[in-house]
């Protein structure tokens, strides 16, 4: 996430690297359930209702590479690696299920959600970045990017179809399984010498299904805020950050795990070094989260930590 002024290309620093670590612990989700899995593998309905309670610790380690072909044009490649720790429990809600029914409930949980750790590469993102001198005559600095995600991450089969058949499945995916167009715009304007206004918009726009009949949701991310430079090496920033995720679809049917709007406050600091290396640390606190449908079942996010180290070669 961009949280400062747009940087300028340097004729002697054509190659730039960044290492980003994002840590989002203990996101919570869950849903009511009335089904169990019998020993013969058949799905059975059980009364009264119980709940599947699921939590997720998410960590992303991402290497970014940017190469300036000339002062106004660059190529960028982001390579993320994800670690997803999931924990799953059943809340029987004080019900009077029989021991046999409770065994079936636990067996059904284990084909849906398991206490496991999943790791792997997620979809890479490639873009062409253009640095105009004064985009739309707004003043300040801008960067306009057009790119595409590369389907590197592991994808899954339709978990709802498998669940209805009593088969083990996974709701967590590491990629979309498709090439997704990406558009991005950033702009920053200095004022009062030590302050910088900054805003950015990113859109990821899937337009077709992958080989498992899944179409990923459209995602829009946007933020705006201010950065205050205390000295040549130290700066503080605070931003509003918003995220809109539309619905994904399995073979034309809405994916209940999608459809979400999140509003957050981001604040942090950055430290610059003599060789133009920069370390940034930010905290992002959700202010509110809204599902697009009452039938949606997504994780509720909590405090997120972001650490970035960027340096030129």
What is the average pLDDT value for the chain, to the nearest integer?
Answer: 91
Residue 9 has pLDDT above 90, yes or no: no
Determine if the pTM surpasses 0.85.
yes
Residue 116 has pLDDT above 90, yes or no: yes
* Burial track 177-195 (b if 16+ CB lie within 10 A, e otherwise): bbebebebebbbbbeeeee
Residue 11 has pLDDT above 60, yes or no: no
Q: Note whether residue 91 is domain-resident.
A: yes
Residue 61 has pLDDT above 50, yes or no: yes
- Across the range 94-101, mean pLDDT stands at 91
Query: Taking CA 202 as the corner, what is the angle to CA 201 and CA 204, rounded to the nearest 5 degrees?
Result: 155
Q: Note whether residue 19 is domain-resident.
A: yes
The CB density around residue 11, as the number of other CB atoms within 10 Å, is: 8
- Across the range 281-296, mean pLDDT stands at 89
The CB density around residue 272, as the number of other CB atoms within 10 Å, is: 17
| Residues contacting residue 262 through CB under 8 Å, at least 6 positions apart | 242, 243, 286, 288, 289, 290, 301
- Range(s) of the domain holding residue 52: 15-312
Q: Note whether residue 284 is domain-resident.
A: yes
Each residue's pLDDT tens digit, 135-185: 556 667 889 999 999 999 999 999 999 999 999 999 999 999 999 999 999
pLDDT given at position 260: 92
Q: Note whether residue 1 is domain-resident.
A: no
Q: Which pair of structure tokens corresponds to residue 83? A: 């670690």
Residue 302 has pLDDT above 60, yes or no: yes
Cα–Cα distance for residue pair 80/65, rounded to 1 Å: 12
Q: What are phi and psi of 141, to 5 degrees?
A: -125, 145
Contact 52, 87 (CB under 8 A): no
Q: Note whether residue 3 is domain-resident.
A: no
pLDDT given at position 236: 97
CATH number of the domain that 206 lies in? 2.40.160.40
Q: Which pair of structure tokens corresponds to residue 59? A: 């960590």
How many domains does the structure of the chain reveal?
Answer: 1
Residue 273 — very low, low, confident or very high, per pLDDT cuts 50/70/90? confident
Contact 77, 124 (CB under 8 A): yes
Q: Note whether residue 8 is domain-resident.
A: no
Residue 2 has pLDDT above 70, yes or no: no
Q: Note whether residue 263 is domain-resident.
A: yes
- Across the range 125-140, mean pLDDT stands at 80
Q: Note whether residue 5 is domain-resident.
A: no
Based on its alpha-carbon atoms, the radius of gyration of the chain, rounded to whole angstroms, reads 22
């Amino acid at each position: 996430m961009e949280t400062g002024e747009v940087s300028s290309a340097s004729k002697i620093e054509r190659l730039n690297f960044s290492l980003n670590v994002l840590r989002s612990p203990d996101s919570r989700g869950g849903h009511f359930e009335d089904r169990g899995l019998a020993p013969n593998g058949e799905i059975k309905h059980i009364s009264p209702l119980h709940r599947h309670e699921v939590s997720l610790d998410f960590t992303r380690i991402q290497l970014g590479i940017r190469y300036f072909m000339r002062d106004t044009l660059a190529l960028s490649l982001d390579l993320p690696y994800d670690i997803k720790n999931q924990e799953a429990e059943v809340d029987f809600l004080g019900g009077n299920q029989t021991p046999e029914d409770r065994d079936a409930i636990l067996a059904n949980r284990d084909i849906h959600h398991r206490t496991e750790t999943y790791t792997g590469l997620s979809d890479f993102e490639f873009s062409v970045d253009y640095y105009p001198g004064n985009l739309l005559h707004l003043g300040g600095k801008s960067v306009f990017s057009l790119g595409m995600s590369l389907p590197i991450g592991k994808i899954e089969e339709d978990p709802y179809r498998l669940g209805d058949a009593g088969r083990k499945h996974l709701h967590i995916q590491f990629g979309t399984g498709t090439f997704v167009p990406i558009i991005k715009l950033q702009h920053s304007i200095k004022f009062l010498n030590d302050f910088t206004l900054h805003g950015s918009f990113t859109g990821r726009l899937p337009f077709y299904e992958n080989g498992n009949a899944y179409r990923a949701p459209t995602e829009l991310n946007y933020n705006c805020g201010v950065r205050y430079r205390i000295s040549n090496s130290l700066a503080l920033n605070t931003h509003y950050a918003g995220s809109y995720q539309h619905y994904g679809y399995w073979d034309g049917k809405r994916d209940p795990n999608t459809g979400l709007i999140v509003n957050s406050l981001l604040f942090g600091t950055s430290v610059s070094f003599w060789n133009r290396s920069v370390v940034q640390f930010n905290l992002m606190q959700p202010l509110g989260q809204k599902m697009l449908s009452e039938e949606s079942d997504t994780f509720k996010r909590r405090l997120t930590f972001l650490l970035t180290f960027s340096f030129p070669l």
